[in-house]
Structure 1
Amino acid sequence: MDKATSFIMRGDEKLEQDFRRSWKLVQKFNTADYDDNERKKSILLELFGSAGEGISIQHNFHCDLGYNIHVGKNFHAGYNCTILDMAEVRIGDNCIIAPNVGIYTAGHNISPVDRHKTGHAYPITIGNNVWIGGHVVILGGVTLGDNQ
């Protein structure tokens, strides 16, 4: 498993600015006209760290930062996709994500005393030609190979 990224839950002004940037872009995306594919694509290209040609995400998408998300060409995510990208998420070419999928790099301390203070995140990598079925949750540190 790759080394974890640590983050402070509250009080990190840079992280707070990054959240606000992302949440504003996500709001624009989710309220864009259903048929305005150019606007939606433009928003996703601004939000994500990188994206290939043929990206398609249905409404009610959510993420933490956006810039840690990297998707290949011909990527599709169904309704209600959530990607908590406190660490890097890399998704290959020709991948399909069904509705209600969660991809969560972030976690919290197990101890209730420290749970609200800091968090950790592990990268997630999804290979080429992968289909993720509905309601699947992928947790930090997971790697899925090609053709899964």
Structure 2
Amino acid sequence: MDAALSERDKMLSGAPYDPGCPELKAMRHKAQSLMRDYNQTIMGDEARAGLMTALLGTWNGAVIRPPFHVDYGAHIHFGPGCFVNFNCVILDVCDVRIGARTQIGPNVQILTADHPRDAAARARLEEWGRPITLGADVWIGGGAIILPGVTIGDGAIIGAGAVVTRDVAAGVTVIGNPARTLNCKDNN
């Protein structure tokens, strides 16, 4: 890895990085301030648009019901016509790209952040991430968890409570923990 890269550049590339560096601490502080303000609004507040524009990499008018929680916000990109229900958590240490008209249920977690499996490495506070991409017209049921590095294809459905550990093809429905494809016979 190039020593000249900033910790943010390392983070966004998926390399190990120092989350305690001043730049990342300042970005999290800004995001926390904007989330605090946003989470105090109610439907129809004129302040919402400005807060989401300042927080997110690309807002595109997404309807986001508070409370809404992010690490940085700047690495989250919504396509047009998206909807996010109450209590969504997006840990955006890498890019999160959400396609047009995607709907996200309550209590969904979208987690790009990852940590070492080795306790000694965790003790050194190492961390990294992998980007997440949600296609257009995806529906994510309440309480689902999307893990680092996952891509979900256009029109896919993620069942409520599913834990998505692998990519999901376009038009496929997955359920369970870990998420698996719902077969037609499972639908009866």
Match of 1:13 among 15, 22, 28: 22
Asked if 2 retains the 8 angstrom alpha-carbon contact of 1:50 and 1:69, the reply is yes
1:60 aligns with 2:70: no
TM-score (norm 1): 0.92
Q: 1:8 to 1:56 in 2, by over 3 A?
A: same
Deviations 1:64-84 (A, max 9, x none): 000000001111111110000
Asked if 2 retains the 8 angstrom alpha-carbon contact of 1:19 and 1:64, the reply is yes
How much does 1:40 deviate?
1.3
1:44 aligns with 2:52: yes
TM-score (norm 2): 0.73
* Aligned residue number for residue 31 of structure 1: 40
Q: State the percentage of identical aligned residues.
A: 34
Flag as ranges the 4+ runs of structure 1 deviating above 4 A: none
* Aligned residue number for residue 142 of structure 1: 150
Asked if 1 retains the 8 angstrom alpha-carbon contact of 2:16 and 2:127, the reply is yes
1:72 aligns with 2:79: yes
- Aligned residue identity for 2:73: G
Count of matched residue positions in the alignment of Structure 1 and Structure 2: 143
Asked if 2 retains the 8 angstrom alpha-carbon contact of 1:61 and 1:80, the reply is yes
- Aligned residue identity for 1:31: Q
Match of 1:123 among 125, 131, 135: 131
How much does 1:60 deviate?
1.1
Instruction: Find the structure with the greater CA-based Rg.
Output: 2
Which whole-Å CA distance do the structure 1 matches of 2:143 and 2:89 have between them?
A: 11
- Aligned residue identity for 1:25: L
More strand by share: 1
- Aligned residue identity for 2:16: S
Runs of at least 5 residues in structure 1 that lack an aligned partner in the other structure: none
Q: Which has the higher contact order (CA 8 A, sep 6+)?
A: 1
- Aligned residue identity for 1:124: I
